[in-house]
Amino acid sequence: MLVKRLDLKVGFACNNNCRFCVVSNKREKGNKTTEEIKTDLKNSRDCGVSGVVFTGGEVTIRKDILELVSYAKDIGYETIQLQTNGRMLAYKTFCKKTISAGANQFCIALHGHIPELHDFLTRSPGAFNQVVQSIKNLKALGQFVTTNTVITKPNYKFLPEITRILLKYKVPQFQLAFVHADGNAWKNFDMIVPLKTLVRPYIYKSIDLASKTKTVAMVEAYPFCFMKGYERYCSERFIPPTEVKDVDYSIPNFDETRKNDGKCKGPQCKECRYDLICEGPWKEYPQKRGWNEFIPVPGQKIRSYNELV
């Protein structure tokens, strides 16, 4: 299988300290050097990888980020995405410099519909206003903007309100990602991780709002058994073959690692019509909550995502 995308962890320094951060326990690892990152980029490009996602930590606070983006462009990466909390992109001058260097996709994190909620979750006063400004800046500059919202106990009832903000600013694609209970999210489990069953109507409402427009909505780490009638919105359907390069290790095929090590299936999953295509939840969730919420969907087995309507 030809890997199409490099997920490149540039390090774990960040100007937020999110209560749900899945990599908070990696902060002591610090950041990769400029040359280490260039080597990662070159090696993957030589193997035919055509897209890179710069992620962390927070990529935009690196002093060399423009140099790294420019290098990726120079050696032939076609898609260069920054996965970011968006705060630095509130400065239009920085947006312009990043675009000029070669970035052509931006995935912005928005976790609340009002400053009090987003700033509480990110533990960064003023962050909400910066995120909204970053979206406005990038849209004004003609960039492709997607967003990611981590579904948590404090924000799940406001997912439709968050969606309305994204529709207001004409964000063409967004993802709602059920919180991965590792790092800070594991430490704050009771405060941060909602019951999957309680989240469902708010996910459905968000999708319904998006479906009235041309906006693409996706839901990540929320198994098919919770998505009756909305199965085609499960984001696992759309994840391209991905190579991950972390600070101190590499994963050549993240699809296999995600399915075999990151997520898990319960004993009743074998009875579900989606068993052959479903990855199950992140494993930490049933470790805490068990499998009672996961109700197998009866019917003939689905063998391919292409069978979903």
Residues 6+ apart with CB under 8 A from 190: none
Average pLDDT rounded to a whole number, residues 188-213:
98
Number of domains in the chain: 1
Condensed to tens digits (0 to 9), the pLDDT of residues 65-87 reads: 999 999 999 999 999 999 999 99
Percentage of the chain beyond pLDDT 70 is: 99
Residue 284 lies in a domain: no
Condensed to tens digits (0 to 9), the pLDDT of residues 151-182 reads: 999 999 999 999 999 999 999 999 999 999 99
Residue 293 lies in a domain: no
Helix (H, G, I), strand (E, B) or coil at 6: strand
Residue 174 lies in a domain: yes
Closest CA to 206 of 153, 169, 151, 143: 151
**Domain interval for residue 255:** 5-264
Mean pLDDT, the chain, as a whole number? Answer: 95
Residue 309 lies in a domain: no
How confident is the model at residue 1, as a pLDDT? Answer: 46
Here the CATH number for the domain that contains residue 114 is 3.20.20.70
Instruction: Name the pLDDT band for 216 (thresholds 50, 70, 90).
Output: very high
Residue 290 lies in a domain: no
Residue 73 lies in a domain: yes
Contacts 24+ apart (CB under 8 A), 282-288: 282/178, 282/180, 282/181, 282/182, 282/221, 284/180, 284/181, 284/182, 284/186, 285/181, 285/193, 285/196, 288/181, 288/189, 288/193
Residue 21 lies in a domain: yes
Task: Copy the structure tokens of residue 236.
Answer: 């696992």
Residues 6+ apart with CB under 8 A from 294: 223, 225, 266, 268, 269, 281, 286
Residue 42 lies in a domain: yes
Instruction: Name the pLDDT band for 24 (thresholds 50, 70, 90).
Output: very high
Average pLDDT rounded to a whole number, residues 249-277:
92
